[in-house]
Amino acid sequence: MCLAVPGRVTAIFGEDPLIKTGRVDFGGIVREVNLCYVPEVQLGDYVVVHVGFALSIVDELEAQKIFEYLRQIGEMNLFDEQQS
């Protein structure tokens, strides 16, 4: 039940937030998704979808943070190796 998948919004229909729907592309598979819970969604955003409803818009900047952290660790480890 917790399983939700990220996909890219390729179309948005409907002005009224409660009946807003759209098309979301999950790596090639396109499904119709209810967008009522992400009223600020824009075309091209990635959303996390569960049982046909988008629950959250993926934050690109936050998504990068772990990889930035791992890059820094990698550089620090290289520095330590060079020192010893």
Contacts to other proteins by CB under 8 A: 1-6, 8, 17, 26-27, 34, 36-39, 46, 48, 50-53, 55-56, 58-60, 62-63, 65-67, 70, 73-74
User: Least distance (Å) from other proteins to the CB of residue 42?
Assistant: 16
What gap in Å lies between CA 25 and CA 84, rounded to an integer?
49
- In the complex with other proteins, the residue whose CB is nearer, 51 or 82, is 51
User: Least distance (Å) from other proteins to the CB of residue 69?
Assistant: 9
- In the complex with other proteins, the residue whose CB is nearer, 2 or 82, is 2
Q: Are 43 and 11 within 8 A, CB to CB?
A: yes
Dihedral over alpha carbons 27, 31, 34, 40 (to 10 degrees): 40
| Token output for 57 | 């818009």
